[in-house]
Amino acid sequence: MAMNGCKIDEALAVHVFRERCRETMAEIRAAYKRKASGVKSADTRLESRLKEKASDNRRKERQLYKLNRELRKTITEHENLLRNVKLRIQNGGYLILPELSPPVLAAAKGAGMPQGSGIYTVWKTQIMDQCLYVGQSVNLRQRASLTSNGAQRGDGKIRPGEWLSICEADEADLMVVECGFIAALQPARNVGTPCSPGKYARCR
């Protein structure tokens, strides 16, 4: 072939053309790989976010399941409490409560008290004219020994200058008996206690 007076070997021209095509294809492949790599990176980030979202959803589902289980447990406990209260109602709609023991100084640290379960009441004076707190314990002597100096008002702790009176009760009945005493005595430190079955209670 002749062009502008120059002679070019045809085989050489074909070779140059092929090499140029290879270079162009190589550039195209490289650009494709760069593009594919970017897409893959974006897909990886998206997949990572989706996994995090799924993990967060599973965590929230576990929390919801736990809350539902606790709610069902609380509902069951309150239903059982209400059933027990209804079973204990006597004499024209009154809940009959057990007799309280003579008061002892809280400073005695539970000396002479039983180690069984029961209800303890905290009084301002020995004549038991003002109830300060009603609580329950599976070990009355141990609970009475926790007399605390400097306890803040309203925390339910027993203070040295106060008086304690108790009554023993089965552990299964503690909630019912405690609620009955709270309803009957209206202790100052039990304000807002949600377990009170109502005002219709009296002590023997």
130-187: per-residue pLDDT in tens? Answer: 888 998 999 988 888 877 554 444 345 677 788 899 999 888 888 888 888 888 888 8
> Are both 138 and 197 inside the same structural domain?
yes
* Residue that is last in its domain, among 85, 102, 136: 85
Domain ranges, residue 73: 7-85
Higher pLDDT, 53 or 36: 53
Percentage with pLDDT > 90 across the chain: 5
> Are both 72 and 105 inside the same structural domain?
no
> Are both 46 and 147 inside the same structural domain?
no
> Are both 71 and 19 inside the same structural domain?
yes
The pair of three-digit structure tokens given for residue 171, joined into one six-digit string:
């552990």
Indicate whether 199 pLDDT > 50: no
Indicate whether 42 pLDDT > 80: no
Cβ–Cβ < 8 Å for 106, 147: yes
DSSP 119-181: EEEEESSTT--SEEEEEEES-HHHHHTT--TTPPTTS----TTSEEEEEE--GGGHHHHHHHH
Q: How many domains are there within the chain?
A: 2
Q: Which of 102, 82, 92 is nearest to 175 (CA)?
A: 82
> Are both 15 and 43 inside the same structural domain?
yes
Asked whether residue 1 is domain-assigned, the answer is no
Asked whether residue 2 is domain-assigned, the answer is no
> Are both 198 and 106 inside the same structural domain?
yes
Q: Tell me whether residue 116 is exposed, middle or buried, using C-beta atoms within 10 angstroms of its C-beta: 0 to 12, 13 to 18, 19 or more.
A: middle
> Are both 105 and 73 inside the same structural domain?
no
> Are both 103 and 76 inside the same structural domain?
no
pLDDT mean over 81-85: 66
> Are both 114 and 66 inside the same structural domain?
no
Task: Look up residue 188 and give its DSSP letter.
Answer: G
Can you give the pLDDT at residue 8?
Answer: 58
Q: Tell me whether residue 22 is exposed, middle or buried, using C-beta atoms within 10 angstroms of its C-beta: 0 to 12, 13 to 18, 19 or more.
A: exposed
Asked whether residue 43 is domain-assigned, the answer is yes
* Residue that is last in its domain, among 57, 85, 113: 85
Cβ–Cβ < 8 Å for 114, 168: yes
Can you give the pLDDT at residue 68?
Answer: 84
Indicate whether 119 pLDDT > 60: yes
* Dist CA 45 CA 37 (whole Å): 12
Asked whether residue 125 is domain-assigned, the answer is yes
Q: What number of residues does the chain have?
A: 204
> Are both 98 and 36 inside the same structural domain?
no
* 139 φ, ψ (degrees, to nearest 5): -145, 100
Cβ–Cβ < 8 Å for 134, 156: no
Helix axes 174-185 and 10-88, enclosed angle (nearest 10): 70
Asked whether residue 179 is domain-assigned, the answer is yes
CATH no. for residue 120?
3.40.1440.10
Cβ–Cβ < 8 Å for 163, 126: yes
Pairing mode, strands 163-168 and 89-90 = unpaired
Pairing mode, strands 163-168 and 201-203 = unpaired
Indicate whether 24 pLDDT > 60: yes
